[in-house]
């Protein structure tokens, strides 16, 4: 494995929540970072000379290539991609409109796919390329009426395993991290769940750092992260 100081990690949705926590943890670990953000304030680690902040809009088809190009111009290589950006909307089976589902499908599935396509040649060159997709336990089981969100996360799981298979001979290892409720802005309106019992973003960040530190012969395909007891899925 390359030492952290020589490895370049791209993180989408890095300006808040889980993405910002991942950026802080990896910065502390010595990684070089390329942070994809929309229009929000960049995390404090962006002040480091070892960090690039680039515009990334998951809904725009050309945004992944532009971000990859900016990363290569700055660092000359890409060793890992963390697909963290995502949205949660309510889309039930019986809903008459598919607009909400289409939006989630674009951001939660097609955008990570496009990011992987853009970064893949450079991850192959690395020999120790890593793809980490921040999914959800909703990609492993369905516990409420929000079928649309679960559908997108199930699809993201399929994408993870497809990349794992495709990239294996090139040294690429793909991992899906599947947490339950995480205490971020996305879950601020969640009712019936004690916020103090939710998973901390910093704990997800620690798992990402662990996945990135493992050698090619100790790969983890899925990490399920529970905040409360659930039967195995």
- Distance CA(136)–CA(177), nearest Å, equals 7
Strands of the chain, DSSP E:
8-12, 32-37, 51-55, 80-83, 130-134, 173-179, 222-225
| Eight-class DSSP state of 119 | H
Answer positive or negative: Cα dihedral of 10, 15, 18, 24: positive
CA 147 to chain centre: 21
- Distance CA(7)–CA(213), nearest Å, equals 11
Picking from 128, 130, 136, the residue whose alpha carbon sits closest to that of residue 153 is 136
Across-strand partners of 151?
none
Neighbours of 103 (CB within 10 A): 16
Picking from 67, 72, 69, the residue whose alpha carbon sits closest to that of residue 54 is 67
Please list the active-site residues. 149
């Amino acid at each position: 494995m390359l030492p952290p100081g020589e490895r370049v990690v791209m993180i989408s949705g890095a300006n808040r929540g889980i993405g910002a926590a991942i950026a802080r943890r990896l910065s502390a670990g010595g990684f070089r970072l390329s942070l994809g953000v929309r229009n929000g304030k960049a995390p404090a680690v962006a002040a480091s000379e070892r960090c690039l902040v680039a515009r990334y809009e998951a809904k725009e088809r050309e945004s992944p290539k532009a971000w990859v190009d900016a990363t290569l111009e700055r660092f000359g290589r890409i060793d890992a991609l963390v697909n963290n950006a995502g949205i949660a909307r309510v889309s039930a089976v019986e809903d008459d409109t598919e607009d909400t589902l289409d939006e989630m499908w674009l951001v939660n599935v097609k955008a990570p796919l496009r990011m992987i396509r853009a970064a893949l040649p450079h991850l192959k060159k690395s020999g120790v390329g890593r793809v980490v997709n921040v999914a959800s336990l909703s990609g492993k089981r369905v516990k409420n009426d929000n079928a649309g969100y679960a559908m997108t996360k199930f699809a993201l799981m399929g994408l993870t395993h497809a990349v794992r298979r495709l990239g294996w001979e090139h040294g690429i290892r793909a991992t899906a991290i599947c947490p339950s409720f995480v205490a971020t802005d996305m879950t601020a309106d969640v009712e019936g769940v004690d916020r103090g019992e939710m998973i901390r973003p910093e704990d997800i960040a620690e798992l990402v750092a662990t996945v990135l530190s493992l050698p090619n012969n100790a790969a983890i395909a899925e990490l399920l992260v529970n905040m409360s007891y659930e039967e195995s899925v």
